[in-house]
Amino acid sequence: MSTAIEVRGLTMSYAGREVLKGVDFQVRSGEVFCLLGPNGAGKTTTVEILEGFRQRTGGTVSVLGMDPQAQPARLRERIGIVLQECGFPRQARVAELVDSWRGYYRSPRDLDDLLEVVELTQDRSVQVRRLSGGQRRRLDLALALAGDPDLIFLDEPTTGFDPESRRRCWAAIENLRALGKTIVLTTHYLDEAERLADRVAILQGGRIQIVGSVRHVARQAGVKTRIKFTAPQQVLDGSLPPPECLDLVMDGGLAVCQAEHSGPALRELLTWAAANDLGDLDDLSVETPTLEDAYLRLVTGDAA
Amino acid sequence: MSRTVTLAFRQALLEQRSFWRSAEYALFTFALPLALLLLIGSTTATGYLPGTHVEGQMIFVPSIIAFGVIVAAYVNLGAKLATLRHDGVLKRIRTTPLPASAYLSGVLGSTAATTLAITACIMTIGALAFGAVPRVSGLPEITGGLVLGVVCFGALGLALSAVAGSAESAAPIANASYLPLAIMSGIFDPTFPVPHWLSAAVGLFPVRALAQILAHGYTPVAHAPATDLLVLLAWTAAACAFTAWRFRWH
């Protein structure tokens, strides 16, 4: 698989303050790559350097084989950028605006096709100022796609969305991936990253702390799988000791067990249940670590 | 290069379409200079100016043309760009491959078209209602003055949008900067009395300079507009330099 973005030893200083202290990562062609990190970690700076809006202090950056600060104009022919909170010209209508944006690119995407992808076909002649918040964000996306880019930067695409609009935006992003586009996503919503991203990178203190698939990140963070079930009466009143090799904790009427590997732990648990005539454990559930668990552990040192 | 020109031209068309579509905005952009033209023309400034052989309308019609240029190129353009910046439209345009030069020339081109339309209205009304017709040999002054006026005040409009901290402050800043100058420059009343030192100071600004160049196209008043030309060129250069230094897309 080829590489869409390659960042090596990227540093950035503002007035003597080092914001990026040597950032390294790769984005593969056709994947959804999510950059996470607390506010002030340098996410925006990193993305703006990739987009060619900021001159880096040091390191090498290659985006679609180009150096963004050397050829920003050529690069912009092939990337699409969805910015947060950008307005539209006040008098414009939807299709008209998208069409004028197409005029800025050498090989634009078909107009009807663009409206279709973002589900604005019905609203093509609506005045932009009459659109709802969700529709406006989808128009944002249509404008970013006008040049039929190979690489798309999405900055907080669903901030302020209701659940329905969020789902539609996610569906649009998944459509883009299906079309083979590479997507770089920054977001505050960890469930969004978990749902959409092929790989995530956590940027903190000016460095990439970890990069990889959501599963990989969770494993590296040392977050354990949680197995829960309704605690049997015998365990609650102390007449039956819990299995020794498992770290079982009572949380009200719930027994919670944390395990590195869920398979052996489950086998152990069910063997113990069968041996003690507990049948199938009630409400048995296995919670694999979420990205949120891993993130909180890595970023705040919180043992979630 | 030719692609930049095509893009600039297309942008100018887009800007024109949006200008004429906001009917109210377009109407009042035209209404202000035309109302002043009719008002001043029908009350004071006709007949020979005191102590001269110059008819008043030969001065105030070109003065109102200059006023129209200032409103369209300086006030409107400055306020418009400040609003577009505030709304994030400029930032969004910056994410496309559209060259900055193509965008700004397109916007200026559209401003020039609007200015031309206003000027045509003023000249027509000036001729029909007040008998103010430019000299045939004054055409270089009229065309040159218009081109230079749009460029100079357009550049000042860009500079204004760079100075204005917010979309709301652009219009008050514009009005506060050009209106006193317009009054002191005798735009609304060629006989407006100003002390000698003030008149000399006002002469350093582009408002009276433009009005005098255009007036020279109507009536061969005593002096040639060489100084006025220099004043306009100097302000254009200063405004361009300031814009290059301070203009921001977001």
Summarised one tens digit per residue, pLDDT across range B159-201 is 999 988 788 899 899 999 999 999 999 888 888 888 889 989 9
Taking the CA of residue A77 and the nearest CA in chain B, the distance in Å comes to 6
Taking the CA of residue B67 and the nearest CA in chain A, the distance in Å comes to 27
Please, which residues bridge with residue A153 across strands?
Answer: A81, A184
ipTM metric: 0.85
- Residuewise pLDDT in 10s, chain B (250 residues): 688 999 999 999 999 998 898 888 888 889 999 999 998 888 765 667 776 777 888 888 999 999 999 999 999 999 999 999 999 999 999 999 999 999 999 999 999 999 999 999 999 999 999 888 998 888 988 999 999 999 999 999 999 999 887 888 998 999 999 999 999 998 888 888 888 899 899 999 999 999 999 999 998 875 667 889 999 999 999 999 999 998 888 8
CB A7 within 8 A of CB A35: no
Mutation for A interface: B6, B95, B249, most A CBs within 10 A: B95
Question: Sorting pLDDT into bands at 50, 70 and 90, what band is A304?
Answer: very low
Rounded CA-CA distance A73/A93 in Å is 27
Rounded CA-CA distance A221/A210 in Å is 9
Please, which residues bridge with residue A3 across strands?
Answer: A28
CB A285 within 8 A of CB A262: no
For residue A259, give the amino acid letter: A
Q: How many CB atoms lie within 10 A of CB B42?
A: 11
Map tokens 């906001």 to a residue.
B22
Closest C-alpha among A115, A84, A73 to residue A188: A84
Mean pLDDT of the region A55-80: 93
Q: What is the pLDDT of residue B103?
A: 95
From the list A86, A105, A106, the residue facing B88 with the nearest CB is A86
- Nearest chain B residue to A99 by CA distance is B14
Q: What is the pLDDT of residue B189?
A: 84
CB A291 within 8 A of CB A193: yes
Give alpha helix (H) positions in A237-290: 262-275
Q: What is the pLDDT of residue B174?
A: 92
DSSP state of B138: G
CB B25 within 8 A of CB B19: yes
Mutation for B interface: A91, A99, A140, A141, most B CBs within 10 A: A91
Rounded CA-CA distance B88/A85 in Å is 7
